[in-house]
Amino acid sequence: MGLTADEFTIQFIATLVKFAIVAGLLLQIPPVMVWVERRVPAMMQRRKGPNRVGIFKWRIYGLMQSLADTIKLIFKEEVVPEGAQKAFYHLAPVFSVFPAFLIAMAIPYGPDIHAFGTTIPLSIIRVDVGFLFIFAVSSLAVYGVTIAGWASNNKYSLLGSLRASAQMISYEIPLGMSLIPIVLIYGTLDLNKIVEAQSHFWKWGVFLSPVSFLLFLIAMFAETNRAPFDLAEAEGELVAGFHTEYTSAKFAAFFLGEYVSMFVLSCLASTVFFGGWQVPFFSVQKLDDLTGFIGVSALIGHVTLMLKATFFMWLYIWVRWTIPRFRYDQLMSLGWKYMIPLGLVNVVVTAVVIAAFRFS
């Protein structure tokens, strides 16, 4: 059934507002994460970290350091290496940022809002095949890394891009396998329906399929090139990896893509395995009844999802400063010799158990 003119207008305006909010949120992630990535290891290593840059006499724990870095990167001279493939050199950062932003549009950030006589979903786009959309788009990210290394006319960059492309392609397989049991358990590819199916605490994906969560957790570190799987950069071996020859705003664009990808995968892990925007032991209706305001549950649900995603963002940093970098042969062996076979076994066992319960 199609929308009326008024409903279409409401949905169109709501989509623009949601897009502006999500885009604004994603653009704030890198500055905040850069500051956190300095402060957290400083505390772990009993250092002070950034604490000088502030507003006038107020240093506010160095919070303005990220703003200073942003201004520096924007106005820094851009140097294009001699012999670079200029068209692809300039295009590579776009391939790094675009897929991460597009995937973020499919994440359900809260329960539906019923207002103005229509239902407004708290995701920019809602697709019935959410998982397939996410994996189709995320597979494009490897092009940004590969093109950046090849177009830079630098051997270190090329080696970094080859490492990164092999790593990302290899770990896409166990990442996808980890979510197949979730699809079998909940019987849908729609992320919003998966969240709704986790209304009870013990129905969370982490309890129903713990092996899937373990595989997903490891693969999400490898997919974002984060330690201990940061072989694509490996400062001690490849200078800075695939983005060695990038400066100024293009250098910042690669980090924007990396941090947004971290946030998107954190939201996806929270959505699939930890109930998403569901508040443990409180349904949407119960939250509205307790507060006395319809729609408050959407705000509470959104904050709940952000808190869960924040935990995974913090986990990225904690692991980075705790576990040493793997060797490349260890990285590939873990993916192909252990995670993929374990993922296959997990899919088969889950299918057999579900079939046994349904047809017994």
Domain boundary assignment for the chain = 5-18+86-359
Would you call 279 helix, strand, or coil by DSSP?
strand
Packing angle between helix 86-104 and helix 248-273, nearest 10 degrees? 30
Contact 271, 305 (CB under 8 A): yes
Q: Is the pLDDT of residue 234 over 80?
A: no
Give 168: exposed, middle or buried? Use CB within 10 Å, 0-12, 13-18, 19+.
Answer: buried
User: In DSSP terms, which residues pair with 55 in a beta bridge?
Assistant: 58
pLDDT-derived band at 215 (thresholds 50, 70, 90) equals very high
How many residues are there in the chain? Answer: 360
Backbone φ and ψ for 221, nearest 5 degrees, come out as: -70, -40
Give the whole-angstrom CA distance, residue 202 versus residue 220.
24
Residue whose C-alpha is closest to residue 36's, from 324, 316, 322: 316
Would you call 119 helix, strand, or coil by DSSP?
strand
Contact 107, 131 (CB under 8 A): no
Contact 192, 271 (CB under 8 A): no
Would you call 120 helix, strand, or coil by DSSP?
strand
Residue 216: what pLDDT?
A: 96
Backbone φ and ψ for 28, nearest 5 degrees, come out as: -85, -15
Residue 194: what pLDDT?
A: 93
Would you call 154 helix, strand, or coil by DSSP?
coil
Residue 292: what pLDDT?
A: 61
What single-letter amino acid sits at 333?
S
Tokens for 359?
A: 């047809």
Give the whole-angstrom CA distance, residue 76 versus residue 132.
39
What single-letter amino acid sits at 112?
D
Contact 186, 124 (CB under 8 A): no
For CA atoms 65, 67, 70, 76, give the dihedral sign: negative
Q: Is the pLDDT of residue 135 over 60?
A: yes
Residues 303-349: tens digit of each pLDDT:
999 999 999 999 999 998 888 888 888 989 999 999 999 999 999 99
Radius of gyration of the chain (CA): 22
Q: Is the bond preceding residue 228 a cis peptide, omega within 30 degrees?
A: yes
User: In DSSP terms, which residues pair with 115 in a beta bridge?
Assistant: 118
Give the whole-angstrom CA distance, residue 297 versus residue 107.
17
Average pLDDT, the chain: 87
pLDDT-derived band at 238 (thresholds 50, 70, 90) equals low
Residue 61: what pLDDT?
A: 82
Residue 88: what pLDDT?
A: 93
Contact 49, 43 (CB under 8 A): yes
Secondary structure (H, E, C), 208-263: HCHHHHHHHHHHHHHHCCCCCCCCCCCHHHHCCHHHCCCCHHHHHHHHHHHHHHHH
Chain centre distance of CA 356: 35
Tokens for 321?
A: 């400063």
Residues 173-207: tens digit of each pLDDT:
999 999 999 999 999 989 999 999 998 889 999 99
- Which of 123-137, 233-247, 287-301, 333-347 is modeled with the greatest confidence? 333-347
Residue 236: how many other CB atoms lie within 10 Å: 7
